Amino acid sequence: MRSSRCGTPEIGSGWQARWAVLAAALWWGSLTTTGFIVVPLLFANLPSAALAGQTAAKLFNAQTWIAVACGVMLMLSSRSRSQSQSRTEGAAGALLFVFAGLLLALLAEFAVAPRIVARDNLKLWHSVGSGMYLLQWLCAGVVLWKVTARSAGPS
């Protein structure tokens, strides 16, 4: 949206779309960094697998709350599109993936992680948790793709 006087952008124009892109990028990027770089490095470099596992559990807990915050930001930016149709349609189209990703994050945190920490059938629950993490990563990737597809259009 442009102001009519001198062609400069209006203050606040498109903020919903910018917040949606920021939230989607933070969600997908933090999942990628934590799950595919940081945690494998913990297991490769810390003196024991137990210490690496305890540290990874804390990181995955923090990742859950990052996902929740990003999901809320995405839902709010999608909700505000009824007031302003400007480029937030990507967030609205991605809403199903936002909900799925948040559900996966919360289930992993409150249903799967306690079983992993308790070492209750560790191989099974670690596999379930890893699968859920991968699915959440895919959901966040789809959200990022959809939100940036709208923002990549002509300004």
Question: For residue 1, is it within any domain?
Answer: no
Q: What is the mean pLDDT of each run of 10 residues along the chain (155 residues)?
A: 42 71 97 98 97 96 98 85 49 83 98 94 96 98 90 56
Task: Give me the residue label for tokens 């952008």.
Answer: 9
Please report whether residue 140 resides in a domain. Answer: yes
CB contact at 8 A, 107 and 136: no
Residue 153 pLDDT? 58
b/e code 119-150 from CB counts within 10 Å (16+ = b):
eeeeeebeebbeebbeebbbbbbbbbebbeeb
Has residue 4 been placed in a domain?
Answer: no
Round to whole Å and give the CA distance between 102 and 110. 12
The count of domains in the chain is 1
Q: What pLDDT shows up at residue 41? A: 98
Any domain includes 117:
yes
- Predicted confidence at residue 149, as pLDDT, reads 84
55 part of a folded domain: yes
One DSSP character per residue, 50-65 reads HHHHHHHHHHHHHHHH
pLDDT digits (tens, 9 = 90+) for 56-90: 999 999 999 999 999 999 998 887 655 445 444 55
Please report the pLDDT score of residue 2 as a whole number. Answer: 43
Q: What's the pLDDT at 95?
A: 92
The answer to the question of residue 9 being in a domain is no
Q: What pLDDT, on a 0 to 100 scale, did the predictor assign at position 30?
A: 98
6 found inside a domain = no
Report if residue 109 sits inside a domain: yes
Query: Which residues in 11-35 are b (16+ Cβ under 10 Å) and which e?
Result: eeebebbebbbebbbbbbebbeebb
Boundaries of domain holding 68? 15-151
Structure tokens belonging to residue 103 = 């559900």
What pLDDT does residue 94 have? 86
